[in-house]
Amino acid sequence: MKINTYQVILLLFLNTYSLSGQEKTTFQCDTEKKLNIGLLGKVKTISILTTFSNGNIDEDLYYIFDKNGIATEVIGNGLGIDIKNKKLREVAIHYNFKDGKLISKLNKMSNGLDGEIYEYDNHWNLVNEKDYIDNILIKEIAKRFDTINRLQEKVEYLYGAYSNYDEKSQTNKANYINDKETYKYDKKNNLILIISEDIKRGSTQKTYYKYDTNNNRIEEGSCVIFNSDSNCVFKPHFGYKYDNKGRLIKKIELGQFHPHNTDDIYNYNKKGYKTRVIGYYYTFPNNDYKVGYQYNYKFNKFGNMTEESEIIGDYRRIDFDSYKKKTIKYDNLQNIVIEEYLNEYSTPIRVIVNKYEYDKNGNWTKKEILKGTSFDSLKTFQISTRKIEYYE
């Protein structure tokens, strides 16, 4: 399917909905970021079906929201990985929530428990995660928080798909500890030490953090000990510097890294958007210090990046092809409509065009993704359709 220049320009001016003052339904899930979604209006349900150009289904999701805009359930159908039998399997994953927190992620196509269970304390701190396959508990992560909700300890248990561990009696549970982390804080609640114990290998890593008077992290480093050896010599790894607004302006590698150390310098515009990153390489033992790369960035008035340019260096890749500049264009609802990757001769090597259809609330109901090496070679790659039901 081809698209000409007139059609591209037309895409940029379609759908001139007003965003000011409109009610929104937004869902953010820390443990399942792929489910995150933002919608305009008071949404009751939304069904999303994504297919590839060959007709294969990539994703099938169904959301249910209450009248307060909080998700109560999400259902996902598709293919998942059968860890026990090491193969793909059909799954119908039901995500259940309470007060916006994920409490279970279960495959309803399996008998009994198959998936993950999440438990929280009275302050909604996630204190326990359990992973089941065919009613067998194979993994567990337990967390402990203090009275001011600071994480104090995290313990990972690995039971495996064929262990004889009895979850009810919890007999010999300590034998299944895989690793353990403990956390320490200063008087300002800054994290200053993480002690990570690898039980299987018998090693312990201690990672420290230092802060300035404004609670900005200025240094971190670590040491590793084996077999309870108490001689733990800390070595710094990274240092950080900030401007008077608390923005990171320099990241310094303090250790000795291969093939070189890198110091990153960051610049910002008046709105606080990061506009330039310069990386300086410091090579041992000849003490050679030179610019290794430089990236410049541009943004629109909404804070969305419109251009990324590689001024120095040869690191940017899409698939196996190098590119020097990436440009991004948006429609009036700030959905991406064009992504163009250009080589050193300003010739496109990859073009991605998103075509949308919108409903009266300004939510897209159809999204067609076209890909090609130029605008003349664009072909449909993927199509997503959304059916949205609103509260009156």
Take residue 63 and report the two structure tokens written for it: 């959301």
Per DSSP, the residues of 244-267 read TTS-EEEEEE-S--SS-EEEEEEE
Give the pLDDT mean for 221-239. Answer: 88
pLDDT confidence of 291, banded at 50, 70, 90? very high
Per DSSP, the three-state class of 153 is strand
Take residue 66 and report the two structure tokens written for it: 């209450």
Measured in whole angstroms, how far is the alpha carbon of residue 363 from the centre of its chain?
Answer: 23
Please give the span between the terminal C-alpha atoms of the chain, in angstroms, as a whole number: 39
CB 78 within 8 A of CB 57: yes
Does residue 138 register a pLDDT over 80?
A: yes
pLDDT value for 16: 35
Does residue 289 register a pLDDT over 90?
A: yes
Q: Model's pTM, two decimal places? A: 0.83
Interval 374-390: pLDDT, tens: 999 999 999 999 999 99
Does residue 330 register a pLDDT over 60?
A: yes
pLDDT value for 88: 52
Per DSSP, the residues of 178-196 read EEEEEEEE-TT--EEEEEE
pLDDT value for 84: 54
pLDDT value for 285: 83
Does residue 316 register a pLDDT over 80?
A: yes
Amino acid at 239: G
Does residue 239 register a pLDDT over 70?
A: yes
pLDDT value for 19: 47
CB atoms within 10 A of CB 370: 22
Interval 16-26: pLDDT, tens: 334 445 789 99
| Residue 56 main-chain phi, psi, to 5 deg | -70, 140
In terms of phi and psi (left: phi > 0; alpha: psi -120 to 50; beta: otherwise), the region of 86 is left
Take residue 308 and report the two structure tokens written for it: 């990324």
Per DSSP, the three-state class of 6 is helix
- Among 59-63, 88-92, 211-215, 375-379, which is the least confidently predicted range? 88-92
Does residue 188 register a pLDDT over 50?
A: yes
Give the pLDDT mean for 89-114. Answer: 85
Does residue 87 register a pLDDT over 70?
A: no
Average pLDDT of the chain to the nearest whole number: 89
Cα torsion 291, 293, 296, 297: sign: negative
